[in-house]
Amino acid sequence: MDLKVTSLERTLVDLFDKPGLGGGWEEIWRSLESVEFYDVNEVIEYALLLKKASTIAKVGYFLERNAERLLISGSDLQLLKKAKPKQPHYMDKKLKGRLVKQWNLIVPEKIHRKTWGEVL
């Protein structure tokens, strides 16, 4: 039996490119945040390879929000910022949100503030 696998880095980018495959934004975000380490160069390289400004902005926004934990530098993020959308793009057209200017990305408030309820 052939079994196709993918790296964590490619999975991260692919989920932001096709979020419908990931079970919803909360599940995507929480799953990606549960990973301790990503090869940031591989994430950036693959995101730029797709040449989709909206996907690049989503990936950049996620990396920026997790920069300290993932040890991501500003120069890493600059590579993505150069390829961000020229006009604001919705992270999810079905959800209202706030404009995050540095990525030209309209991010749903639920994601930006991480307002999903956690059971303690």
- Three-class secondary structure assignment of 44-83: HHHHHHHCCHHHHHHHHHHHHHCHHHHCCCHHHHHHHHCC
Residues 2-55: tens digit of each pLDDT: 888 889 999 999 999 999 989 889 999 999 999 999 999 999 999 999 999 999
In this prediction, residue 91 carries a pLDDT of: 95
* Beta carbons of 63 and 77 less than 8 angstroms apart: yes
* Beta carbons of 107 and 94 less than 8 angstroms apart: no
How does residue 119 score in pLDDT terms, banded at 50, 70 and 90?
low
pTM for this structure? 0.91
Residues 62-94: tens digit of each pLDDT: 999 999 999 999 899 999 999 999 999 999 988
